[in-house]
Structure 1
């Protein structure tokens, strides 16, 4: 089964690609948080505000007020507060379920449920961007997602520049298990030099993060590095309009 899942992930990377040209006037950086743990707002929110930047929060309605990976997840008041502050709210399925575990109909039902749940709590807000739970995509799921969202963000490393698949936008992980392997300054410089789009995703933010989270100092470092490289910083959906061209 594991080998089959790997083959399906690989197929999604190379098949049914709808290429778009990523060519902003200047390099762009977008930060996002997946799921999302409460600390992605309570700890990260003040850091974002201090830097004067906005991020994207990829929401699973089914995780609200719950626990995931031993971390308290967001509460509805967190979601409403960040939306009111101008941060983007995007879709991450309703139950944080891998596309490898859903057929097309199950995925559609999950997206419908999440859309209704978010709209009810955010005065009719419609999510326009998507992030794949666990970074898992399939060829069939890409078709479903592409018909509903402007783009889908994955978890494959790299700067988006030139021709990219709008259903599998690259993104680096602001995760304690991955950060030591990155040269963040070099990635930011590459995005600036190539006039590309660098996106990043994180989860919890605390002094003792999970393997999938980062520290407040890590987050501050990332934002300082983006600014030092001269990158524009914008939420994923807002950046999309600036980085793409027909």
Structure 2
């Protein structure tokens, strides 16, 4: 099977303005008054087989959990991030207690797609996961981090929380329909992630979500090495973070009391 090329999401001025405008639409702000210890979620997108094997092994070695956002239409393919997960990989992740989240069937750019197309991509993805014995996903990550008001309208009705890609901490008032995250990717990925860990550790009422893709010796620009991931997870443990799945963090944040909500 031929190796797929990276798709470029819309980084034009229009795309940036669309994502910024979406932050004011279909929001699910949280209160978090009961959170007293910073939470940390380690997540993997798409997901390459190396994340399901090397990434999972690293989390297990530290006794912590994580979330995989699966694009089922990519299963078994070769890509610029290496071989993608198989059904057996996904079942093994779930059996090990990790969360399986939704990422659309064919990695659809939800910022550019219409509601019906987004709905179908989600339904197709969930159908494949269901056939693997995976329960209905409770959380979602926007492929490419690309968001629109109409995309948020779709996921608002389906998921407990949805993750984007803009940097930031989840704190009181954060919109769980477009939650921020920090990438562990590229040459500067470790330094950036460590900086955010230090910042979050000083903010007890916070939740940091990290994401990456492939986890291998020679990673793509969107991934990291096993050594980098291991050091980051070890640092999170050292700093005393409460490791949670994305769904687990959302549950705690919402149970702690929602803020006012905008339609």
Q: Which of the numbers 170, 194, 198 marks the counterpart of 2:203?
A: 194
Q: TM-score, normalised by structure 2?
A: 0.88
Equivalent residues in 2 for 1:1-246, closer than 5 Å: 2-23=12-33, 24-122=35-133, 125-179=135-189, 182=192, 184=194, 186-195=195-204, 196-244=206-254, 245-246=256-257
User: 1:102-123, CA deviations, whole angstroms, 9 ceiling, x for partnerless residues?
Assistant: 1001101111111111011125
Q: CA–CA distance in 2 between the matches of 1:118 and 1:69?
A: 23
Q: Distance in 2 between matches of 1:34 and 1:62?
A: 13
Give 3-state SS (helix, strand or coil) of 2:240's partner: coil
**Separation of aligned partners in 2, 1:183 and 1:10:** 23
Q: Give me the whole-angstrom Cα distance separating, in 2, the residues matched to 1:127 and 1:138.
A: 21
What is the CA distance between 1:187 and its match in structure 2?
2.4
State the Cα distance separating 1:182 from its structure 2 match: 1.4
Report the structure, 1 or 2, having the larger helix content. Answer: 1
Native 8 Å contact 1:63 1:73 kept in 2: yes
Query: What's the offset of the Cα at 1:68?
Result: 2.6
| Greater share of strand | 1
Deviation of the 1:49 alpha carbon:
1.3
**Corresponding pairs, count:** 244
CA RMSD of superposed structures (Å): 1.6
How far apart in 2 are the matches of 1:193 and 1:111?
37
Structure 2 runs not aligned, ≥5 long:
1-9, 258-263
Residues 175 and 211 in structure 1, CA contact (< 8 A), matched pair in contact too: yes
Residues 45, 181 of structure 1: CA spacing in aligned structure 2 closer, same or farther, 3 A cutoff? closer
Cα contact 2:29–2:172 (8 A) shared by 1:
no
Quote the Cα distance in structure 1 between the aligned partners of 2:79 and 2:112.
18
Q: C-alpha deviations, 1:54-93, integer Å up to 9, x for none?
A: 1100011100011232511001110011110000000001
